[in-house]
Amino acid sequence: MRATEIMRHVTQWLRSTHSLVPNKTKCSRSVCEAFGLWGLHIIPTQTWTTVRSVRWTPPRAGQWKLNVDGASQGNPGSSGGGGILRDSTGCILFAFSNFYNIKTNTVAEAMAIRDGLFLCEEQNITNIVLESDSKVLVDMLRADSCPHWRLKNIWADIMRCRGRITTITHQFREGNQTADALATHGVRSRQRTVFSFWQDMPLEARGAHRLERLGIPSLRIHRTPLPASPRQWRIAWRRSGVVTIGR
């Protein structure tokens, strides 16, 4: 096809797509700009940006906090998991990074939880505070129910160690950066490694561990569509308890 013919077909497709958009006020800015190049105008969605301070908090005296995370490049793709166990002063007892081959994010996260609990079982550690940034798995663990058949065998291993866990908490990714760095290292290294000292961990994990132990917060930036009316906007802002820095 000639270039002019291709342009004509693209224009016809864009016009037909534009007519099918049900609400032309709820599109992202990039979509609006793409249509605007062809003279098809769409009003972008108004958004507000919120900033939340997120930090790692140590467990109570006599407890251990196990932070875990999974990573998958492609979902499914090359995946790995990592975790770190620390006491109430932030001192490390052990950390690990594993390679899981081709898995999804959820499966990699579940395998990281299993591997972390296995290491705790080997060292006879109880009173564990399990912390993960996977809301799906945290909700499943709190309900003691696994609806995903792909996790059946992994879930059975986790339930065998369930009695060692006293508390299950959800943490944002910004407050789980050491485990995230260890999971990424597992994908890159393609091997299983257990670290007994923080100096032995990968550089990225060492830096994240230092910041978390010092209690230095990270900023979580989140953008959400603006409510329809100013009154709804004010209610949402008050409930969020965060700082609004713009629209």
Reported as a single tens digit per residue, the pLDDT across 114-148 is 999 999 999 999 999 999 999 999 999 999 988 88
**Continuous H helices in 37-82:** none
Q: Which pair of structure tokens corresponds to residue 41?
A: 């105008």
Count Cα atoms within 13 angstroms, Cβ side, for 78.
9
Cβ(72)–Cβ(108) below 8 Å:
yes
Count Cα atoms within 13 angstroms, Cβ side, for 57.
10
**Predicted local confidence at residue 239, as pLDDT:** 58
CATH of the domain spanning 54-217, picked from 3.40.50.300, 3.30.420.10, 1.20.120.450, 3.40.50.1580: 3.30.420.10
Q: Kindly report the length of the chain.
A: 247
Q: Please give the angle made by the CA atoms of 108, 110 and 116, to the nearest 5 degrees.
A: 100
Kindly report, residue by residue over 73-128, the tens digit of the pLDDT: 988 899 999 999 999 999 999 999 999 999 999 999 999 999 999 999 999 999 99
Q: Please give the angle made by the CA atoms of 59, 173 and 46, to the nearest 5 degrees.
A: 130
User: pLDDT class for 154, splitting at 50, 70, 90?
Assistant: very high
User: pLDDT class for 244, splitting at 50, 70, 90?
Assistant: very low
**Predicted local confidence at residue 13, as pLDDT:** 77
49: helix, strand or coil:
strand
Q: What span, in angstroms and rounded, lies between the C-alpha atoms of 183 and 177?
A: 10
**Predicted local confidence at residue 74, as pLDDT:** 86
